[in-house]
Amino acid sequence: MKYFYVLLLTIINTFFASAQNSLLVNFGATNCGNNPPSFSLIKNPLSGNPEVLNTCALHTQLPDFYNVFIAYNPKDSKIYVADIRSEKTKIWRLDMGLPNTITCPNIINTQPDYEYDYVSNNFEFDNNGNLWSFSEYSQPAGTCKLDQFDVNTGKVLNTRILTFPLGLQPTAITSGDLCILPNGRMFATLGANPSRLYEIENYNASTPATAKFLTQLPQNCYGIAYLNGQLEITGFGENCYYFDYDISTNVLGSAKTFQNGQLPIDNSSITPSLGVTKELISANMVTETAYDLTYDIYVRNMGNVTLNNINVKEDLAKVFGAANISNVTASFLAGYNVANLRINPAFNGSTNTSLLMENQKLPNNTSSNNDYYFKIRVSLLVRNLSPNKVYYNSAIGTASINNVLQSIVIIDSSNNGNLAMIDPNNNGNPNEAGENIPTPFSIYSMPVTFLSFDGAVLSDKQHRLKWTVATPTENAKEFIVQYSTNGSLWQYLNRIAVDDPQQGTFEYSYLPDSDGPRLYRLKQVDLDGAFIYSNSILLQSRGNHLIGIYPNPVKDVLYINWGSEESVTVQLLNMNGQLLQTKSIVSGSNFINTQSLANGLYLLKIQTKDNSRVFKFVKQ
Give the burial class of 86: count Cβ atoms within 10 A of its Cβ; 0-12 exposed, 13-18 middle, 19 or more buried: exposed
E strand spans, 458-514: 463-469, 476-484, 491-497, 505-510
E strand spans, 414-475: 415-416, 439-441, 450-457, 463-469
Looking at residue 252, what is its pLDDT?
Answer: 96
Tell me the residue length of the chain. 620
Over residues 470-488, mean pLDDT: 81
156-163 and 176-180 as β-strands: parallel, antiparallel, unpaired? Answer: unpaired
Is residue 519 very low, low, confident or very high in pLDDT (cuts 50, 70, 90)?
Answer: confident
**Lowest-pLDDT range, 117-121, 332-336, 470-474, 486-490?**
486-490
**Which pTM does this prediction carry?**
0.69
Query: CA 212 → CA 147, 203, 209, 606, distances in Å?
Result: 18, 12, 10, 19
Tell how far CA 281 is from the center of its chain.
23
d(CA 338, CA 496): 46
Examine the pLDDT at 12 and tell me if it is beyond 50: no
CA dihedral 580, 585, 588, 589 (to 10 degrees): -20
Residue percentage of the chain with pLDDT more than 90: 52
Looking at residue 3, what is its pLDDT?
Answer: 29
Find which of 190-194, 541-545, 592-596 is predicted with most confidence, using mean pLDDT. 190-194
Examine the pLDDT at 586 and tell me if it is beyond 70: no
Over residues 606-619, mean pLDDT: 73
Residue-wise pLDDT for 371-389, tens only, equals: 999 999 999 999 999 877 8
DSSP-derived secondary structure for 154-202: --EEEEEEEEPPTTS--S-SSSEEEEE-TTS-EEEEE-SSS-EEEEEES
Query: Cβ neighbours of residue 498 under 8 Å, at least 6 residues apart?
Result: 473, 476, 477, 478, 479
Reference 437, options 391, 387, 381, 487; nearest CA is 487
Which residue would you say has higher pLDDT here, 93 or 283? 93
Which residue would you say has higher pLDDT here, 178 or 452? 178
Find which of 357-361, 596-600, 614-618 is predicted with most confidence, using mean pLDDT. 357-361
What does the angle CA 311 – CA 312 – CA 316 come to, to the nearest 5 degrees?
150
Looking at residue 193, what is its pLDDT?
Answer: 95
Examine the pLDDT at 279 and tell me if it is beyond 50: yes
Looking at residue 300, what is its pLDDT?
Answer: 95
Residue-wise pLDDT for 156-200, tens only, equals: 999 999 999 999 999 999 899 999 999 899 999 999 999 999 999
Looking at residue 366, what is its pLDDT?
Answer: 87
Examine the pLDDT at 7 and tell me if it is beyond 50: no
Residue-wise pLDDT for 295-327, tens only, equals: 999 999 999 999 999 999 999 999 999 999 999
Over residues 129-152, mean pLDDT: 94
Residue 74 preceded by cis peptide, ω within 30: no
Whether residue 69 contacts residue 79, with contact meaning beta carbons closer than 8 Å, is answered with no
Looking at residue 6, what is its pLDDT?
Answer: 29
Residue percentage of the chain with pLDDT more than 70: 89
Given CA atoms 8, 12, 15, 21 in this order, what sign does their dihedral have? positive
Rg of the chain over Cα atoms, rounded to whole angstroms, equals 26
Looking at residue 41, what is its pLDDT?
Answer: 93
Examine the pLDDT at 231 and tell me if it is beyond 90: yes
Looking at residue 311, what is its pLDDT?
Answer: 97
Is residue 545 very low, low, confident or very high in pLDDT (cuts 50, 70, 90)?
Answer: very low
Enclosing H/E stretch for 121: strand 121-125
d(CA 428, CA 451): 32
d(CA 542, CA 463): 12
Examine the pLDDT at 2 and tell me if it is beyond 50: no
Residue-wise pLDDT for 235-246, tens only, equals: 999 999 999 999
* φ and ψ of 385, to 5 deg: -75, 140
Residue-wise pLDDT for 41-75, tens only, equals: 999 899 888 999 899 999 999 988 888 999 999 99
Reference 123, options 163, 168, 89; nearest CA is 89
Examine the pLDDT at 148 and tell me if it is beyond 70: yes
Give the burial class of 278: count Cβ atoms within 10 A of its Cβ; 0-12 exposed, 13-18 middle, 19 or more buried: buried
Over residues 22-48, mean pLDDT: 91
d(CA 351, CA 270): 35
Examine the pLDDT at 11 and tell me if it is beyond 50: no
* φ and ψ of 226, to 5 deg: -100, 130
CB atoms inside a 10 Å sphere around CB 444: 16
Is residue 19 very low, low, confident or very high in pLDDT (cuts 50, 70, 90)?
Answer: very low
d(CA 372, CA 552): 21
Reference 604, options 565, 547, 566; nearest CA is 547
Looking at residue 508, what is its pLDDT?
Answer: 94
Which residue would you say has higher pLDDT here, 7 or 344? 344
3-state per-residue secondary structure call for 203-233: CCCCCCEEEEEEEECCCCCCEEEEECCEEEE
End-to-end CA distance of the chain: 31
Examine the pLDDT at 482 and tell me if it is beyond 50: yes
Is residue 406 very low, low, confident or very high in pLDDT (cuts 50, 70, 90)?
Answer: low
Give the burial class of 92: count Cβ atoms within 10 A of its Cβ; 0-12 exposed, 13-18 middle, 19 or more buried: buried
Task: Sort residue 142 into left (φ over 0), alpha (ψ -120 to 50) or beta.
Answer: left
Averaged pLDDT score across all residues of the chain = 86
- Three-state DSSP at 435 gives coil
Is residue 8 very low, low, confident or very high in pLDDT (cuts 50, 70, 90)?
Answer: very low
**Lowest-pLDDT range, 218-222, 437-441, 583-587?**
583-587
Examine the pLDDT at 475 and tell me if it is beyond 90: no
